[in-house]
């Protein structure tokens, strides 16, 4: 390493205003009085010796120095360090090594800027670092602080070109204690990404400060960034030297709740979903606010944009390709950006979807035959839009599923064959496959045991008609193969998928939309003695009208050609309902939207030193960013979801209605959910304390393995940190965190009696297990099968365009003459299908930088300084490897018909690991897509 003397840069001030000030001392040791605990500490005062480099004037710096001169007699050593003359020792030399990540793919401008920054850092003019002891001086009751500037260059630590290191030399007294925090001040004109800082030279060995954060420029925010070491502390255990910094860091993250957020901000706050519509652009794009008594909803991250001119309740929108605000550290890292944000996801919505529309809109027609659908996988779609001729589509980073070929100036978009038909292209036609997907498909969380009969609606009969279902005992007995109805109920062989009450209030509005026709459905399934589950009756309902009672019809599979085709149409309508409920309720609401308040509250109320913050941190990665992108292009007014799913413009109102009527935090526990649905019953003699009603229920049996592994890991972690009986109730940060989740994040549910208490370590373990399960296993089970199951449109149509023809309908004759055409013309059009397939492909894709459950990114390996915790985590990781082997063995077990058999795809959605792309397996730590 070599050091250059700082040259005179006065004639280069236009490059970097930090260079205009006098060269600072190389390092300085200071003791600064602590502020009273009731007063908010001021970072600028703590680092006043840096003068203008700390956002202070020189006079302010002198004032700070003179304030403490009465009790500090100082002298300078040969390096310019300031040490207390009252100490007889000369102190020790320590080195702070700072690891910074640069861009992976740089253009010429980036490279020139890097060289300039590299030079400025090398001469000690770019980054200031202040080392804060975890102790206070017992004589002066002041904080111990040593400051210096990054100066000099270190060799590249590896062959990774985008990882660079800098160092700062500091002299500390022998009684300095252990460094508990760092203050980093970025004097450059732009931000940089700090991976970590390691302090070498203390007797106990290297001290790690994991950062993994963007350090803003002083030009954007004069306050320094606070980085704590990797020791976990409960609030009451915080060393006195950094106690005030712990509070200061939290206060800086919470913000004031006012003003528009800037891209460099790290402010976490709450807002309603008031940004889905765009009434200023078109009154047809106006959407109601979600969040409030009428339309309750979880809160999102506040961005503070101005309100629209048309509606003072709605926030103005940021349209693609401009980014929606999320706190700076929540944005995608570069690999993820290239794969989804800047590459796949934004380009998909900005370029590919319009290109498909331009190519097909003039002939936006039905599929004429099933071979038209097959051509999407064999021949592909030729895109001739001018957009792609300018290069927009050419630059897409579309992965494994969409194979593309450039030929004669045209773009060929080719879809890979979805897993559901890859082994057996006719499997989707069979009743047993329809039922299998209720247990092992992409939406295996709506099937319930039929517990009560007759089936009755809970909707207001004055509005929605008689509550009794049209499904009768006599009708069901005809389908039970000789078994009595009473015996089938007694042996728990009857199951139901019931979307009646959720959808019927929206039917009139949904069916008024052009090209949309839907029913509210109930489906009864029977578990035969052969070990197979099959649908035996489907009830489809329309709202009652003044001229007629509620229209309820029940369909069975029948024995003649006409009945068989009508049965296929009935199943298609059920699948369309299932696709909508899956996307809007189970996937978006119960994982994405409900997780967002937990993440916001964790940052606002739990210090990064808090052990629970450290536990939850991997499970929060990318979620706020993917949710912001969804509000921009997926769930917004006129977005992909409205265009592709049956509820159309009422999609998010339906999601709000489901939140109001059925969401409960305590029921997001997998065991509680299975018991609620009657799919399991408590049994202490069983491995997980549960006995499944259906042993061959892949989602439940594999999910319980993952759930139990998370539970064991969380319980051991919580016990390790909360050993005292009152340690949970006395943890002020933890209690504030839980209260904020209930009273701010899920404000519309704040008074519900079912919220768990947070009094004991058992309470805490249960709450955390639910959160981690939702972010990892639950989301994986509901997300990564979207293209494997939905990529073949007849298997899971996202909307239907026609009602089932009745004998007195004009369309009935055409149906009799050509039932295949009638069926296909009821499905989404070619344009609708191709658009939703493109989206499902993207949403089913793992990024190359995915972090999976039980794995730690090598760059985050020093996340905690606790060997016992690391030992417990390694046990958790080893358990997940075992679980993967168990699931693989189950997928080869001939007795498990929902996993094995001719053409049956194995159930892999809860296999913990995966490679990148659309794999139909893998459990990321967090909701990252």
> Which string of DSSP letters, residue by residue, matches 616-649?
HGGGGTTHHHHHHHHHHHTSSTTSHHHHHSTTGG
- Termini Cα distance of the chain: 43
Strands (DSSP E) along 451-513, which ranges? Answer: 494-498
Cβ atoms within 10 Å, residue 15: 12
Backbone angles phi, psi at 250, to 5 degrees: -65, -40
Quote the pLDDT of residue 10: 35
Closest by CA to 628, choosing from 244, 347, 927, 196, is 927
Return the minimum-mean-pLDDT range out of 120-134, 151-165, 180-194, 436-450.
Answer: 151-165
Q: Are 854 and 665 in contact (CB under 8 A)?
A: no
Quote the pLDDT of residue 842: 85
Mean pLDDT computed over every residue of the chain:
85
Quote the pLDDT of residue 547: 66
Mean pLDDT (whole number) for 862-880: 96
Spot the catalytic one: 500, 582, 587, 619.
587
Start-end of H helices in 786-919: 786-790, 812-817, 819-826, 830-843, 867-890
Backbone angles phi, psi at 97, to 5 degrees: -105, 120
Per-residue confidence at 104, pLDDT binned at 50, 70, 90?
Answer: confident
Q: Tell which wins on pLDDT, 397 or 303.
A: 303
CA angle 114, 116, 120 (to 5 degrees): 115
pLDDT at 346 over 50: no
Mean pLDDT (whole number) for 823-850: 90
Exposed e or buried b for every residue in 897-921, given b needs 16+ CB within 10 A? Answer: bbbbeeebbbbbbbbbbbebbbbbb
Torsion of CA 887, 890, 892, 893, to 10 degrees: 180
pLDDT at 366 over 70: yes
Quote the pLDDT of residue 66: 30
SS3 assignment, position 555: strand
Angle between helices 561-581 and 819-826 (to 10 degrees): 10
- DSSP for 782-819, written as a single string: HHTTHHHHHSSTTTS-S---SPPPPTTSTTHHHHHH-H
> How far, in Å, CA of 267 to CA of 929, rounded?
22
Q: Are 811 and 632 in contact (CB under 8 A)?
A: no
Closest by CA to 253, choosing from 864, 729, 733, 927, is 733
Q: Are 647 and 573 in contact (CB under 8 A)?
A: no
pLDDT at 150 over 50: yes
Quote the pLDDT of residue 425: 92
Quote the pLDDT of residue 723: 92
Q: Are 414 and 403 in contact (CB under 8 A)?
A: yes
Q: Tell which wins on pLDDT, 343 or 217.
A: 217
What's the length of the chain? 929
Which helix (H) or strand (E) segment holds residue 711: the answer is: helix 698-721
Mean pLDDT (whole number) for 719-736: 96
Burial of 885 per CB tally in 10 Å (0-12, 13-18, 19+): exposed
- Find residue 270's DSSP bridge partners: 301
For residue 789, the number of C-alpha atoms closer than 13 Å in the C-beta half-sphere is 31
> How far, in Å, CA of 99 to CA of 94, rounded?
16
Closest by CA to 245, choosing from 273, 223, 226, is 226
Torsion of CA 328, 331, 334, 335, to 10 degrees: 150
Q: Are 582 and 644 in contact (CB under 8 A)?
A: no
CA distances (Å), origin 40, targets 35, 116, 182, 679: 7, 37, 18, 53
Quote the pLDDT of residue 511: 96
> How far, in Å, CA of 927 to CA of 624, rounded?
9
SS3 assignment, position 671: helix
Q: Are 126 and 98 in contact (CB under 8 A)?
A: no
pLDDT at 380 over 80: no
Domains of the chain plus CATH, in order, are 91-254 (2.60.60.20), 446-573 (3.10.450.60)
Mean pLDDT (whole number) for 507-529: 96
Has 783 been annotated as catalytic?
A: yes
In sign, the C-alpha dihedral spanning 653, 521, 839, 381 is negative
Quote the pLDDT of residue 363: 56
Return the minimum-mean-pLDDT range out of 328-342, 576-590, 694-708.
Answer: 328-342
Q: Within the chain, how many helices (H) and strands (E) appear?
A: 31, 23
Return the minimum-mean-pLDDT range out of 244-248, 274-278, 396-400, 523-527.
Answer: 396-400
Mean pLDDT (whole number) for 552-559: 92
Bond prior to 321 in cis (omega within 30° of 0): yes
Mean pLDDT (whole number) for 707-734: 97
Q: Full-prediction pTM beyond 0.95? A: no
Spot the catalytic one: 627, 636, 783, 891.
783
> How far, in Å, CA of 723 to CA of 64, rounded?
43
Which helix (H) or strand (E) segment holds residue 596: the answer is: helix 594-605
> How far, in Å, CA of 610 to CA of 235, rounded?
7
pLDDT at 401 over 70: no
Closest by CA to 23, choosing from 142, 107, 128, 108, is 128
In angstroms and rounded to an integer, the radius of gyration of the C-alpha atoms of the chain is: 31
Cβ atoms within 10 Å, residue 68: 16
Quote the pLDDT of residue 154: 65
Mean pLDDT (whole number) for 290-295: 97
Q: Tell which wins on pLDDT, 546 or 715.
A: 715
CA angle 821, 823, 826 (to 5 degrees): 105
CA distances (Å), origin 822, targets 385, 538, 541, 817: 31, 19, 20, 9
> How far, in Å, CA of 244 to CA of 665, rounded?
34
Spot the catalytic one: 188, 557, 573, 592.
592
> How far, in Å, CA of 495 to CA of 680, rounded?
13
Burial of 283 per CB tally in 10 Å (0-12, 13-18, 19+): exposed
Has 929 been annotated as catalytic?
A: yes
> How far, in Å, CA of 495 to CA of 480, rounded?
13
User: What is the percentage of the chain residues whose pLDDT exceeds 70?
Assistant: 83
pLDDT at 19 over 90: no
Bond prior to 454 in cis (omega within 30° of 0): yes
Q: Are 787 and 841 in contact (CB under 8 A)?
A: yes
Has 779 been annotated as catalytic?
A: yes
Q: Are 856 and 863 in contact (CB under 8 A)?
A: yes
Quote the pLDDT of residue 283: 92
Burial of 716 per CB tally in 10 Å (0-12, 13-18, 19+): middle
- DSSP for 202-222, written as a single string: STT--EEEEEEEEE-BTTT--
Per-residue confidence at 544, pLDDT binned at 50, 70, 90?
Answer: confident
Has 14 been annotated as catalytic?
A: no
Start-end of H helices in 306-430: 334-336, 346-347, 353-360, 370-378, 386-389, 419-422
Cβ atoms within 10 Å, residue 8: 8
Quote the pLDDT of residue 362: 54
Mean pLDDT (whole number) for 217-229: 96
Per-residue confidence at 548, pLDDT binned at 50, 70, 90?
Answer: low
Per-residue confidence at 41, pLDDT binned at 50, 70, 90?
Answer: very low
pLDDT at 649 over 80: yes
Spot the catalytic one: 599, 779, 846, 927.
779
Q: Are 521 and 573 in contact (CB under 8 A)?
A: yes
Cβ atoms within 10 Å, residue 208: 18
């Amino acid at each position: 390493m070599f050091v250059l003397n700082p040259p005179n840069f006065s004639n280069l001030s236009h490059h970097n205003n930090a260079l205009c000030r006098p060269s600072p001392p190389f390092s300085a040791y200071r003791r600064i009085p602590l502020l009273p605990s009731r007063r908010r500490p001021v970072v600028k005062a703590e680092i006043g010796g840096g003068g203008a480099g700390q956002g202070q004037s020189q006079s302010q710096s002198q004032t700070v120095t003179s304030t403490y001169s009465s009790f500090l007699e100082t002298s300078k050593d040969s390096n310019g360090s300031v040490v207390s003359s009252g100490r007889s020792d000369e102190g020790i030399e320590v080195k702070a090594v700072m690891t910074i990540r640069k861009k992976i793919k740089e253009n010429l401008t980036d490279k020139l800027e890097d060289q300039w920054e590299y030079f400025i850092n090398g001469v000690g003019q770019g980054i200031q670092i202040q080392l804060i002891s975890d102790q206070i001086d017992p004589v002066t009751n002041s904080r111990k602080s040593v400051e210096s500037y990054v100066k000099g260059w270190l060799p590249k630590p590896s062959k990774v070109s985008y990882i660079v290191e800098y160092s700062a030399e500091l002299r500390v007294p022998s009684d300095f204690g252990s460094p508990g925090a760092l203050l980093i001040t970025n004097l450059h004109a732009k931000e940089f990404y700090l991976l970590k800082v390691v302090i070498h030279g203390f007797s106990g060995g290297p001290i790690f400060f994991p950062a993994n954060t963007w350090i803003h420029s002083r030009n954007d925010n004069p306050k320094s960034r606070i980085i704590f070491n990797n020791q976990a502390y409960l609030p009451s255990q915080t060393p006195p030297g950094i106690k005030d910094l712990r509070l200061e860091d939290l206060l800086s993250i919470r913000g004031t709740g006012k003003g528009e957020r800037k891209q460099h901000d790290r402010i976490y706050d709450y807002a309603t979903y008031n940004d889905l519509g765009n009434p200023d652009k078109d009154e047809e794009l106006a959407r109601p606010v979600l969040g409030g008594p009428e339309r309750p909803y979880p809160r999102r991250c506040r961005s503070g944009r101005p309100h629209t001119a048309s509606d003072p309740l709605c926030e103005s929108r940021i349209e693609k390709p401009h980014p929606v605000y999320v706190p700076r550290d929540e944005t995608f890292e570069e690999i993820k950006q290239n794969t989804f944000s800047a590459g796949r996801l934004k380009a998909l919505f900005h370029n590919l979807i319009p290109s498909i529309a331009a190519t097909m809109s003039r002939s936006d027609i039905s599929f004429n035959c099933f071979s038209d659908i097959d051509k999407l996988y064999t021949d592909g779609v030729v895109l001739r839009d001018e957009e792609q001729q300018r290069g927009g589509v050419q630059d897409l980073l579309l992965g494994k599923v969409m194979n593309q070929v450039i030929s004669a100036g045209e773009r060929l978009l080719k879809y890979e064959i979805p897993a559901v038909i890859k082994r057996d292209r006719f499997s989707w036609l069979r009743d047993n496959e329809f039922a299998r997907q209720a247990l092992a498909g992409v939406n295996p969380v709506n099937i319930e045991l039929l517990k009560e009969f007759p089936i009755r609606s809970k909707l207001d009969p004055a509005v929605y008609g008689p509550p009794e279902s049209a499904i009768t005992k006599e009708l069901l007995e005809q389908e039970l193969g000789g078994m009595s109805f009473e015996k089938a109920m007694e042996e728990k062989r009857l199951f139901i998928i019931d979307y009646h009450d959720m959808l019927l209030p929206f039917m009139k509005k949904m069916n008024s939309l052009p090209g949309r026709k839907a029913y509210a459905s109930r489906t009864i399934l029977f578990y035969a003695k052969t070990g197979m589950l099959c649908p035996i009756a489907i009830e489809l309902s329309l709202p009652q009208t003044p001229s007629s009672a509620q229209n309820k019809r029940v369909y069975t599979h029948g024995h003649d050609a006409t009945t068989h085709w009508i049965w296929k149409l009935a199943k298609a309508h059920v699948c369309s309902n299932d696709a909508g409920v899956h996307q809007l309720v189970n996937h978006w609401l119960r994982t994405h939207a409900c997780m967002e308040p937990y993440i916001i509250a964790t940052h606002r109320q739990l210090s990064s030193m808090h052990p629970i913050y450290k536990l939850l941190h991997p499970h929060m990665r990318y979620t706020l960013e993917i949710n912001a992108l969804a509000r921009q292009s997926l769930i917004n007014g006129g977005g992909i979801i409205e265009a592709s799913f049956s509820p159309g413009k009422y999609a998010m109102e339906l999601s709000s209605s489901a939140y109001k009527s059925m969401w409960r935090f305590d029921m997001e526990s997998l065991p509680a959910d299975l018991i609620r649905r009657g799919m399991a019953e408590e049994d202490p003699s069983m491995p997980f304390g549960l006995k499944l009603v259906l042993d061959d229920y892949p989602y439940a049996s594999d999910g319980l393995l993952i759930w139990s592994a998370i539970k064991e890991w969380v319980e051991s972690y919580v016990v390790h940190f909360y050993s005292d009986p009152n340690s949970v109730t006395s943890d002020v940060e933890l209690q504030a965190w839980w209260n904020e989740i209930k009273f701010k994040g899920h404000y519309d549910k704040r008074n519900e009696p079912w919220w768990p208490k947070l009094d004991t370590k058992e309470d805490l373990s249960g709450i955390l297990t639910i959160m981690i399960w939702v972010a990892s296993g639950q989301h994986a089970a509901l997300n990564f099968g979207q293209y494997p199951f939905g990529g073949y449109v007849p298997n899971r149509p996202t909307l239907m365009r026609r009602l089932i023809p009745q004998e007195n309908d004009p369309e009935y004759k055409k149906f009799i003459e050509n039932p295949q055409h009638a069926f296909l013309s009821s499905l989404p059009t070619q344009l609708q299908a191709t658009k939703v397939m493109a989206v499902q492909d993207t949403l089913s894709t793992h990024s190359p930088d995915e972090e999976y459950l039980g794995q730690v990114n090598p760059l985050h390996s020093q996340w905690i300084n606790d060997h016992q915790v690391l030992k417990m985590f390694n046990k958790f990781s080893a358990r997940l490897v075992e679980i993967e082997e168990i699931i693989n063995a189950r997928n080869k077990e001939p007795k498990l018909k929902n996993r094995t058999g001719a053409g049956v795809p194995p159930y892999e959605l809860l296999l913990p690991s995966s490679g990148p792309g659309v794999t139909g397996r893998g459990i990321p730590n967090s909701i990252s897509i």
